[in-house]
A = this chain, B = another copy of it.
């Protein structure tokens, strides 16, 4: 295969698809390689929260990145629907972060102050106010932070919308194509070796989620990231239970179209096992019941699990390989893979094109793996 691509993207999850979309839209000749099916792992297992303020409690580089990414989705929703016909099901009805103890009430107050100082909108709601806003909530709650700008969407639709839109700009998509190793020459990446042959390209972007590590070891890089299983389930109600997303320490409930509510997620480190345990379901039911008692009347739909890539310091890896030029890495997004996909796609495309990036990315650089952790 003598054809040479501008960019080879490894990993057909939400981030690999977002990167492919951005690169193809800018006119690059892109090929997206996925070892299984598109969005078949964590990207379709996620609940799709855009919980920039709820997940990232204090200011810092990740908070900035998350806020920026969150703000990109309304435009993306329109763009992607036009290119692919796919509705990403963006819902901008806010998120309530419930305090589960008096200690958390205090902690949340500080968080709110910090966020307000950083210019973000957030307000406190008492248990009573919460019940007025969301009548399905338990009357016994202590209160919570209401974050109007944290939204949610369909991760499966988003991933496919990115990939199909990339294809509409000319990107080639190959499923069932596993990358075994890299081709490099004089310190610069040159292509990849797959299970069915070599593919040449000027840039290679590894966005393989929890499966990135094995491949990157072929480049001599040990990411020190690890897989974390998250279990979820969904129920269907005759009428929507909730308007806003409900978020607590242990559990979140995300209202989806058609009366569906997603409940997630457990957190089991160091496993690639995608099966759902009875323990996990029981845990989630107990937690969800305390927040939204009427959920018990809902109709069981299904349970599933996803494997998310976590880094040792909790920050994603975004940047060029410290030694091999033109090998780019975008992984370690943990619970924020959907939220960060918009900005990840744009940033990687900017860096790859040599554009000045206006975000400070030093916290996400790959060479921090060489520092003592």
* Contacting pair A281 B281 (CB below 8 A): yes
Type the 1/0 row for A169-212, where 1 means its CB is closer than 8 Å to any CB of B. Answer: 00011011110100000000000000111000000000000010
A273 partner residues in chain B, CB cutoff 8 A: 175-177
On whether A272 and B178 interact (CB within 8 A), knowing A84-B258, A297-B279, the answer reads yes
Q: Count how many chain A residues have C-beta atoms less than 8 Å from C-beta atoms of the other chain.
A: 57
A74 partner residues in chain B, CB cutoff 8 A: none
A236 partner residues in chain B, CB cutoff 8 A: 275
A278 to B233, CA, bound (A): 10
* Contacting pair A299 B279 (CB below 8 A): no
* Contacting pair B277 A227 (CB below 8 A): no
* Contacting pair B160 A258 (CB below 8 A): yes
Q: By DSSP majority rule, is chain A's interface helix, strand, loop, or mixed?
A: mixed
A175 partner residues in chain B, CB cutoff 8 A: 273, 275
Instruction: Indicate if A101 sits at the interface (CB-CB under 8 A).
Output: no
Type the 1/0 row for A254-290, where 1 means its CB is closer than 8 Å to any CB of B. Answer: 0011110000000000111111111111100100010
A214 to B192, CA, bound (A): 14
On whether A278 and B296 interact (CB within 8 A), knowing A173-B238, A176-B272, the answer reads yes
* Contacting pair A274 B87 (CB below 8 A): no
A211 to B160, CA, bound (A): 27
Instruction: Indicate if A126 sits at the interface (CB-CB under 8 A).
Output: no
- A278 in complex: contacting residue of B84, B164, B298, CB < 8 Å: B298
Q: Offer 30 A-B interface pairs, CB within 8 angstroms, sorted by A.
A: A85-B89, A85-B257, A85-B258, A86-B257, A87-B87, A164-B258, A164-B259, A167-B259, A173-B238, A175-B273, A175-B275, A176-B271, A176-B273, A178-B214, A180-B214, A195-B211, A196-B271, A196-B272, A236-B275, A275-B300, A277-B296, A277-B297, A277-B299, A278-B295, A278-B298, A280-B300, A281-B300, A282-B289, A300-B303, A302-B302
Report A's interface with B, CB cutoff 8 A: 84-87, 89, 91, 160, 164, 167-168, 172-173, 175-178, 180, 195-197, 211, 213-214, 217, 227, 235-236, 238-240, 256-259, 270-282, 285, 289, 295-300, 302-303
Additional 19 contacts, C-beta under 8 A, given A85-B89, A180-B217: A85-B258, A86-B258, A167-B239, A167-B259, A175-B273, A176-B274, A176-B275, A178-B214, A195-B227, A196-B270, A196-B272, A275-B300, A277-B297, A277-B299, A278-B285, A278-B297, A278-B298, A282-B285, A282-B296
